[in-house]
Amino acid sequence: MEFLFALNSKREWINRVPAILPAKRDRNEEWIWIDTNGNSMAIGEDFAAAEKMDSYPVKVYRKIRVAEALKQADTLTKPERILYELL
């Protein structure tokens, strides 16, 4: 997965999204929204609940296809490759 950005509140979600979402690379691409408790988020009700639970920031990730991960790994320098393999 690739980290895209974090949101600190429901208001920030309302004001910044979808303008800050990157263009999808293909139609099957997915974004994952995760609060500090590891819960996923999908609709406005989730963002309101996260405020009540004090589980911001919410981090947004882009799922990466295996072929894309391989291409990214091929472009890494030797130190970056070592870190990539450790993760």
Instruction: Sketch the domain layout of the chain as residue ranges.
Output: 2-86
Q: 8-12, 27-31, 49-53, 76-80: lowest mean pLDDT where?
A: 76-80
CA distance 13 to 84: 30
pLDDT (0 to 100) of residue 22? 80
pLDDT (0 to 100) of residue 76? 62
27-33: long-range contacts at Cβ-Cβ below 8 A with a sequence spacing of 24 or more? 29/62, 29/63, 30/62, 30/63, 31/4, 31/60, 31/61, 31/62, 31/63, 32/1, 32/60, 32/61, 32/62, 32/63, 33/58, 33/59, 33/60
| Percent share of the chain, pLDDT over 70 | 86
Q: pLDDT-based confidence at 38, cuts 50/70/90?
A: very high
3-state class (DSSP) for residue 40:
strand
pLDDT (0 to 100) of residue 8? 92
